[in-house]
Amino acid sequence: MSEQVLRKGDEITLDFGQHLVGYVTLSLLNVRSNADAPLRLKLTFGEMPCEVGEDFATYEGWLSRSWLQDEIVNVDVLPGTITLNRRYAFRYLKLEILETSIRYDLQLKEVFCTTVTSASMDAITPLPASVDEELVQLDQVSIHTLRDCMQTVFEDGPKRDRRLWIGDLRLQALVNYETFGCNDLVKRCLYLFAGSRLEGGQVGACLYEKPEPYVDDIYLYDYSLFFITTLWDYYEATKDRDTLEVLWPVAKEQVDIALKRLDKRGIVQDDETWYCFLDWHEQLNKQAGAQAVLIYGLKKALCIAREMGLSEQVEQLQTQIRRAEEAALQFLWDEEQGFFMSGEQRQVSWASQVWMILAEVVDVEVARALLQRLKGYYEAIPMNTPYMMHHYVEALLQCGQQQEALDQIRTYWGGMIKDGADTFWELYNPEDKTYSPYGSNLINSYCHAWSCTPSYFIRRYFAGEEG
């Protein structure tokens, strides 16, 4: 550290050079005279400069103010070394000297962070030399994002929420298989979800570990179905047959529960509650997207049933898939406009079209034309998150549009890097860079699990290719 002397009323902001998750230690020295009164410090941690540059007193978001990372500490003995008890996620640390005494000033002799993660960077295989510098950087930022979210579970964000969400887990696991290979951590999370279900048997949207594992009361239609997908992806990556067999009944139960929401037409019943996620957008109607995720989940369940040789359930799932697809095409597809419509207002959204493509409700040629029309349909409800953008890239790849998918990765996640990201963010709308569904960008997570998927795409589809 420098020999800078800090007095009452001074402040200093430290840049640690990269995003960190862990426990901060400060070594403090009194200068000029003995410390005849306690030192009082205010510490403000930020993943991005806005968090240390704006006054938290102005925060008006609807998520709890307690997620904003600041605290006041009193140090009774100087010189001295203190380690903060709370785990922080940050790159920047602002220190404000609230009180010393008229007799002494302060010097920071050392400040460091003891980082924590379940991931080992030694497990990462370098990309081939043929991969260009931009993709290497995108890969590195993705890996650092995932690393900092990999704790005793796959957290959705190490700053805010700090819990296990199944939508994030599904994407984190995909990246993990291509990078760290911490497959036992994926397995642990699957068992936690299976063993901590809601009273009706539903897999909850998220769960907590402490003081002991318990499920939150949030149920999301699409997230519960992603338990099936995550289980199948895990089996494909590990060939862990025992886990597949043990958890299949839970996966099958999610199918049975999801089918109960269908109306007499065979379409997912819509309502005004937060029954399905898909993406953050206040106007987004979820009905068509939920129908598509149902079909997607049924097809993953069919993969499991076939793998396990369950002929009766294979036949049953095939029938359920056929009926759900026929209903989607009959009641949600508008032949004249060439889009899937959602809800009573017949809404067109990117989420609805992308998920119908991923569910393979239409063939590749129709899907490719659908995406092309969508680009020119400016009334469609847009995407707001890297989570939804991941699925759009998947849809492009499924349609054989590799170059378009790669361009989208470079433009979208590359845009975050150009805007200062060293880990990828929870939310990124290039047209509104302060967008937040929570009422304030201060509460946004700037290291977020569902945004780490460029590494998955780069390593699975593009490593070694010219791009």
- For 321, 361, 391, 450, the CA distances from 354, given in Å and listed in that order, are 18, 11, 7, 17
Tell me whether residue 180 is in a domain.
no
**Mean pLDDT score, 35-51:** 97
Please give the share of the chain, as a percent, with pLDDT higher than 70: 99
Residues in contact with 259: Cβ distance below 8 Å, sequence separation at least 6, in sequence order: 294, 320
The pLDDT value recorded for residue 2 is 64
Q: How far apart are CA 392 and CA 228, in angstroms?
A: 21
Q: What is the mean pLDDT of the chain?
A: 96
C-alpha separations of 19 from 116, 145, 156, 159 in Å: 12, 9, 15, 11
**Does residue 213 lie in a domain region?**
no
65 in a structural domain:
yes
What band does 70 get if pLDDT is binned at 50, 70 and 90?
very high
Q: What is the pLDDT of residues 168-214, one digit of tens each?
A: 999 999 999 999 999 999 999 999 999 999 999 999 999 999 999 99
Where residue 467 falls among pLDDT bands split at 50, 70, 90?
very low
Write out pLDDT tens, residues 54-64.
Answer: 999 999 999 99
pLDDT one-digit tens code per residue, 383-429: 999 999 999 999 999 999 999 999 999 999 999 999 999 999 999 99
Angle, helix 350-358 to helix 287-307, in steps of 10 degrees:
20
Q: How far apart are CA 37 and CA 34, in angstroms?
A: 9
When pLDDT is averaged across residues 353-368 and rounded to a whole number, the result is 98
Number of domains into which the chain is organized: 1
For 231, other C-beta atoms within 10 Å of its C-beta total 30
Q: How many residues are listed for the chain in this entry? A: 467
Q: Note whether residue 90 is domain-resident.
A: yes
Give the pLDDT of residue 137. Answer: 98
Nearest to 202 by CA among 179, 178, 225: 225
For residue 342, what are the contacts with CB-CB under 8 A and spacing of at least 6?
A: 270, 285, 286, 287, 288, 289, 332, 348, 349, 352
Q: Where are the beta strands (DSSP E) in 246-373?
A: 333-334, 339-340
Instruction: Please choose, from the candidates 124, 123, 137, 107, the residue with its C-alpha nearest in 3D space to the C-alpha of residue 1.
Output: 107
C-alpha to C-alpha distances, 464 to 133, 134, 182, 400, 467, nearest whole angstrom? 12, 13, 24, 18, 9
CATH number for the domain that contains residue 71? 2.60.120.260
Please state, in angstroms and as integers, the Cα–Cα distance from residue 307 to each residue in 25, 159, 239, 318, following that order.
Answer: 52, 39, 11, 14
Give the SS3 label for residue 336.
Answer: coil
Q: Report pLDDT digits (tens) over 267-316.
A: 999 999 999 999 999 999 999 999 999 999 999 999 999 999 999 999 99
Asked if omega into 38 is within 30° of 0 (cis), the reply is no
pLDDT at 216 over 50: yes
What is the average per-residue pLDDT within 130-140? 97
pLDDT greater than 50 at residue 465: no
Report the pLDDT value the prediction gives residue 417, as an integer from 0 to 100.
Answer: 97
Is 1 inside any structural domain?
A: no
In this structure, is residue 371 part of a structural domain?
A: no
In whole angstroms, give the CA distance from residue 22 to residue 405. Answer: 35
DSSP states of 352-405: HHHHHHHTTSS-HHHHHHHHHHHHT-TTSB---SHHHHHHHHHHHHHTT-HHHH
Domain that holds residue 29: 11-115
437, 290 contact by CB (below 8 A) = no
- Mean pLDDT, residues 337-344: 97
Percent of the chain scored above 90 by pLDDT?
97
- Let me know if residue 440 belongs to a domain: no
Nearest Cα to Cα of residue 367 among 390, 340, 344, 389 = 340
Q: Say yes or no to pLDDT of 3 above 60.
A: yes
Place of tokens 């000029």: 32
> How confident is the model over 236-281, as pLDDT tens digits?
999 999 999 999 999 999 999 999 999 999 999 999 999 999 999 9
Residue 31 belongs to a domain: yes
pLDDT above 70: residue 454: yes
What are residue 164's phi and psi, to 5 degrees?
A: -100, 115
| Residue 220 near residue 177 (C-beta atoms within 8 A) | no
